[in-house]
């Protein structure tokens, strides 16, 4: 079994113990498709991530001050915030979503059931990550349709050609290419460059993982990406606002 298999097994076990979902808590009064709107701006769009830990990096920020970190990211010019909410392997929480003000929030978790979408929307997410490694095209389409009811975006993540085919077949409007292989956690920016050429026009392209410097951003921007999800390299900085500013500044 891979790490991804372990995470999915843990997720399914946790879902079996969760109380019934309250669909009325997931209202549709949010700003419609806020992540799409943010990423279509003509600028360097950084989705700055907050996570406490990961299987590959270990502990990153214990008990993160979500409000303070999100404010730093916003001050630096981030277009959106990503929150890793998986509790066991990443030490995250859905409760962190509501602690972000003023920017769209992408909820990153390992989605295998519609109930997770409803809970994410109810928690205040503007967008939710769907992993093509876990879902087929029909499931992706169904989950996007569910999120559409709440004017919530779906970012469909891929890391190879087969997953990209599923994402496109499922009607993804935002596709993220993860340069980190979730099965062995190796990183290769070339994955984004290779797959970008195969993403149809009109779909927003997001490069994810392994992005540390402005040179990395420029390299991936040249490959056609609209946005850049950056996490660990920002979280470990003493001045996170300045770190984001270095990535997004046009000067």
Rg (CA), the chain: 17
The pLDDT value recorded for residue 78 is: 98
Is residue 137 situated within a structural domain? yes
Measured CA angle at 210 (ends 207, 216), to 5 deg: 70
pLDDT tens-digit readout, 160-169: 999 999 999 9
For residue 76, give the CATH number of its domain.
Answer: 3.20.20.70
Find the DSSP H helices in 128-187: 137-148, 161-169
23 is a domain residue: no
Confidence of residue 250 (pLDDT cuts 50, 70, 90): confident
Residue 116 belongs to some domain of the structure:
yes
Residue 19 lies in a domain: no
Residue 25 lies inside a defined structural domain of this protein: no
Whether 102 is in a domain gets the answer yes
User: What is the pLDDT averaged over residues 155-159?
Assistant: 96
Instruction: Note whether residue 177 is domain-resident.
Output: yes
Q: With beta carbons less than 8 A apart as the criterion, state whether 229 and 198 touch.
A: no
Band the pLDDT of 29: cuts 50, 70, 90. low
Domain of residue 151, residue span: 3-12+33-248
- Residue 211 pairs in a beta bridge with none
Q: Is residue 22 part of a domain?
A: no
Does 113 have pLDDT greater than 90? yes
pTM across the whole model: 0.94
Please, what is the angle between helix 161-169 and helix 137-148, to 10°? 50
d(CA 134, CA 162): 12
How many folded domains does the chain comprise? 1
Three-state secondary structure call for residue 106 = strand
- 225: CB partners within 8 A, 6+ apart: 177, 192, 196, 205, 206, 207
Q: What are phi and psi of 50, to 5 degrees?
A: -115, 120
According to the model, what pLDDT value does residue 197 have?
Answer: 94
CB 191 within 8 Å of CB 177 = yes
Question: How far, in Å, are 84, 119, 122 from residue 19 at the CA level?
Answer: 21, 11, 14
């Amino acid at each position: 079994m891979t790490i991804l298999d372990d995470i999915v097994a843990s997720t399914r076990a946790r879902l079996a113990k969760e109380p019934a979902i309250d669909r009325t808590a997931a209202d549709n009064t949010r700003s419609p498709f806020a992540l799409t709107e943010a990423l279509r701006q003509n600028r360097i769009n950084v989705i700055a991530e907050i996570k406490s830990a990961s299987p590959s990096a270990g502990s990153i920020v214990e008990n993160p001050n979500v409000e303070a970190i999100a404010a730093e990211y916003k001050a630096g010019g981030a277009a959106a915030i990503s929150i890793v909410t998986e509790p066991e392997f990443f030490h995250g929480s859905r409760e962190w979503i509501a602690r972000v003000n003023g920017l769209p929030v992408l909820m990153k978790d390992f989605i295998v059931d519609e109930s997770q979408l409803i809970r994410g929307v109810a928690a205040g997410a503007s967008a939710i990550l769907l992993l093509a490694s876990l879902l087929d095209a029909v499931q992706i389409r169904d989950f996007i349709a569910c999120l559409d009811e709440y004017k919530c975006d779906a970012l469909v993540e891929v890391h190879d050609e087969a997953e990209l085919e599923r994402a496109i077949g499922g009607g993804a409007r935002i596709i993220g290419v993860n340069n980190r292989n979730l099965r062995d956690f190796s990183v290769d920016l070339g994955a984004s460059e290779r797959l970008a050429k195969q993403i149809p026009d009109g779909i927003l392209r997001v490069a994810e993982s392994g992005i540390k410097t402005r040179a990395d951003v420029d390299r991936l921007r040249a490959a056609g990406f609209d946005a850049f999800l950056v996490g660990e390299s920002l979280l470990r900085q003493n001045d996170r606002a300045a770190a984001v500013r270095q990535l997004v500044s046009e000067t």
